[in-house]
Chain A
């Protein structure tokens, strides 16, 4: 009985461990990358990004042998479009001359109270820009829902809720670009 219980637990653990274990693409040489995450309300007001989000993004980049650093807080200035923001980010970080720039734009909108949860929609766009060839910018769009438990939880909590999907999406984009570049 005890043995079968242990075997069952082991099988569950193994099954759990098999989820999402595709190894990330790794650069042969450690490469700097500057990143910036911009979170906004539905009406476009900037909101502070939880440090957990930037930390986990940095970890995902580090796993690919990228050396992330954060752009200055006001790097985007008053730019409102993705295109202008990419330009602003390139300019604001020009002195560092990092070969890669990563911009994550997130906008969270309240959907409704739904079966006991506060449903939010988080629109995410990730732009990965090679500094030496900005025209080769690669983007990834992702729309995910966040289900928050409390009224006082708002945009930052919604981004926290979906950070796993965000990190996976950023990782997939980086892997795609790195794989392309390695050919």
Chain B
């Protein structure tokens, strides 16, 4: 190095070090950052509906989340109390998440803060006591990923749980163990302790291959005297329970002895969930997520019947403890023509069974099958054309649950009029097809999931059920006589909406 060059370099060093000591901008060990940060998500839309609907194309996400969800906003706050500055050194952070589905002008409750909740609050600490372990106290929600087309997370654990988790992450292994209590989410104002424990293991044996398994147990112990703890009222008949006629039947069988209606017997309850995940990618298949969930739900607590001007509390754990749910979901993302055309293909299959119920249609006793395909073509990096279509079938296991014609409010047993019928409508199957198409402006460029996304969409639905969308049409014979009922199988929606993470 020439002498002059050495002198100049030395001068630079001195100047820069001086600037550093004075706290100048260019002297930090890393780009300057605040210890407080906030992130979030929002979607808002207007979808004027000229067919009597509430702005959603169909009933729910089974047909793809697009045009079937309402407004939503989430804000997560994070404070790095002790930032992570070097590997294996302690760090800690605080998190709070507020979210809800109401915005003035975009939903029925017009932005009411009552629609928002503090859904998560937790603290994390890493490398404290154990290297490569992150401790978390507070909300423990964890999931392996989601089905973006459906906005559904089949492989999710600890969503309801407040407690402690330890997560070990090193190289290709990611193991989470958690314990806590899920009682407040599961039981609300009828809180009862629901001890929860479980684990999730994710491994990445190769760069484009991931496997995950997990499970959780939820246990409600027997607590004598706690009226919100699991109990069984002996001798309940399922049909009487469904009809709300237990006390009446007892009175008929035992005249004048209503005081002798069997007392509840304390018991315990157990629910569990097992999840599995497989992720992989190859070639134009950028990534494929496959999820499986098998769940045994916790039984219900109790119902209250009013008979002869008296209230009777009936504990129904024994009538609701055989509810199983199996859900299988897959989402594949393809880059068909790089920079020009992407495709996302989703499949969702569900089987809900209720071993106690064989007489009344219910969301706990049904099958559903769905597939959604979204194509996104790129005219420019910022201007996209979106095309999505879905096909779904829902089938009730216990008779009719769907209205196929305008006068179906009159039929409730095998398609016949029956004042005592437990069915609804005139079909046990609902088939639905949807189409969504329109331009998308994406300031941040290419990608099906690039956000923010400004969309002008036209949606079209055909369903075997009439008026198969949120509406205010008639639900009873009384209303039918007043208003009549349109027989609409086709539904059109125009949507102007924006969705963003920030």
Q: Contact residues of A with B, CB < 8 Å? A: 12-13, 15-17, 19, 40-45, 80-84, 86-87, 90-91, 94, 105-107, 109, 111-117, 119, 121, 123-125, 127, 134-135, 137, 139, 141-143, 145, 147, 149-152, 164
Find chain A residues with CB under 8 A from B29 CB: 44, 80-82
Say whether A86 contacts B16, CB under 8 Å: yes
- 10 nearest A-B residue pairs (beta carbon): A125-B31, A123-B31, A83-B16, A115-B41, A16-B383, A43-B87, A134-B12, A147-B501, A116-B146, A42-B84
B32 to A141, Cβ gap below 8 A? yes
Across the two chains, which residue of chain B brings its CB closest to A41?
B87
B25, CB-defined interface residue at 8 Å:
yes
Q: Which residues of A contact B5 (CB under 8 A)?
A: 94
Q: Quote the shortest CB–CB distance from A147 to chain B (angstroms).
A: 4
Interface residues in B44-63 by Cβ distance below 8 A to A read none
Nearest to A146 among chain B residues (CB) is B501
What is the interface of chain A mostly: helix, strand, loop, or mixed? mixed
B145 within 8 A of A: yes
User: In the docked arrangement, what's the CA distance between A86 and B1, Å?
Assistant: 18
Q: List 18 A-B contacts (CB under 8 A).
A: A13-B380, A42-B83, A44-B29, A44-B86, A82-B28, A94-B5, A107-B30, A107-B33, A111-B76, A112-B76, A115-B74, A135-B15, A137-B16, A139-B25, A145-B39, A150-B287, A151-B210, A152-B204
Q: How far is the CB of A154 from chain B (nearest CB, A)?
A: 11
CB of A134 to closest CB in B, whole Å: 4
- Residue pair A83, B380 in contact (C-beta under 8 Å): no
| Distance between Cα atoms of A124 and B28 in the complex (Å) | 12
Q: Which residues in B have their C-beta under 8 angstroms from that of A15?
A: 441
How many Å lie between the Cα of A84 and that of B27 in the bound state? 8
How many chain B residues touch the partner (CB < 8 A)? 67
Which of these, B15, B26, B151, B383, contacts A82 with CB under 8 Å?
Answer: B26
Question: Which residues of B approach A to under 8 Å, CB–CB?
Answer: 1, 5, 9, 12-13, 15-17, 19-20, 25-34, 37, 39-41, 72, 74, 76, 78, 83-89, 95, 97, 99, 141-146, 148, 151, 153, 174, 202, 204, 210, 279, 287, 289, 379-380, 382-383, 439, 441, 443-445, 449, 451, 501-502
A111 pairs with B78, CB closer than 8 A: yes
Q: A152–B501 contact, CB under 8 A?
A: no
Closest residue of A by beta carbon distance from B43 = A115
CB closest chain-A residue, reference B456:
A12
Decide if A114 touches B41 in the complex (CB within 8 Å): yes
CB–CB A134/B31 < 8 A: no
List chain B residues, Cβ under 8 A from A139.
25-26
Contact A121:B37 (CB < 8 A) given known A16-B382, A152-B279, A164-B444: yes
A179–B380 Cα gap in the complex (Å)?
30
Task: Find chain B residues with CB under 8 A from A82 CB.
Answer: 26-29
For B449, list chain A residues within 8 Å (CB): 147, 149
Chain B residues with CB below 8 A from A137, complex form: 16, 26
**Residue contact B202 to A16, C-beta cutoff 8 Å:** no
Evaluate contact between A91 and B31: CB separation under 8 angstroms.
no
Give every chain A residue within 8 A of B9 (Cβ-Cβ).
Answer: 87, 90-91, 94
Q: Which of B13, B20, B451 has the most CB of A within 10 A?
A: B13
Contact of B19 among A12, A83, A119, A149 (CB under 8 A): A83
Given A16-B380, A44-B30, A44-B86, answer yes or no on A164-B39 (Cβ-Cβ < 8 Å): no
Q: Which residues of B contact A45 (CB under 8 A)?
A: 87
**Whole-angstrom distance between the alpha carbons of A144 and B463 in the complex?**
43
Q: How far is the CB of A68 from chain B (nearest CB, A)?
A: 21
A125 touches B382 (CB 8 A): no
Closest residue to A84 on the B side, CB-wise? B16
Chain B residue with the shortest CB-CB distance to A165: B444
The verdict on A83 contacting B27 (CB below 8 Å), with A17-B380, A43-B87, A147-B501 known, is yes
Tell me, rounded to whole Å, the shortest Cβ–Cβ distance linking A10 to chain B.
11
B166 to chain A, nearest CB (A): 17
A114 partner, pick from B32, B74, B83, beta carbons under 8 A: B74
Question: B30, A134: Cβ atoms under 8 Å?
Answer: no
Q: Closest CB-CB distance, B334 to chain A, in whole Å?
A: 14
A123 to chain B, nearest CB (A): 4
Contact (Cβ within 8 A) A119 B379: no
Given contacts A112-B76, A115-B74, contact A143 B31 (CB under 8 A): yes
| Cα–Cα, bound, A15→B440 (Å) | 12
Contact B40 A164, beta carbon cutoff 8 Å: no
User: Closest residue of chain B to A145, judged by CB?
Assistant: B39
Query: Given contacts A145-B501, A151-B202, A164-B444, is CB(A81)–CB(B28) below 8 Å?
Result: yes
Contact (Cβ within 8 A) B501 A81: no
Partner of A43, one of B85, B148, B443: B85
Which of chain B's residues have a CB closer than 8 A to the CB of A127? Answer: 26
Q: A90-B9, A119-B501 are in contact. List 16 more A-B contacts (CB 8 A).
A: A42-B83, A45-B87, A81-B28, A83-B26, A87-B9, A90-B12, A91-B9, A105-B30, A105-B31, A111-B78, A119-B39, A124-B31, A142-B31, A143-B33, A145-B502, A164-B444
Is B383 within 8 A of A13, CB to CB? yes
Among A115, A123, A149, max chain B CB count under 10 A is at A115
Docked-complex contact A19 and B501, CB < 8 angstroms? no
Across the interface, which residues of B come within 8 angstroms of A150, CB to CB? 145, 279, 287, 289
Cβ A44 vs Cβ B85 within 8 A: yes
CB pair B87 A134 closer than 8 Å? no
Partner among B32, B74, B451 whose Cβ is within 8 Å of the Cβ of A147: B451
A173 to chain B, nearest CB (A): 13
B261 to chain A, nearest CB (A): 47
Question: Which chain A residues lie closer than 8 Å to B78 at the CB level?
Answer: 111-112
Taking the nearest CB of chain A, how far is it from the CB of B450, in angstroms?
9
Complex CA distance for A117 and B210, rounded to whole angstroms? 17
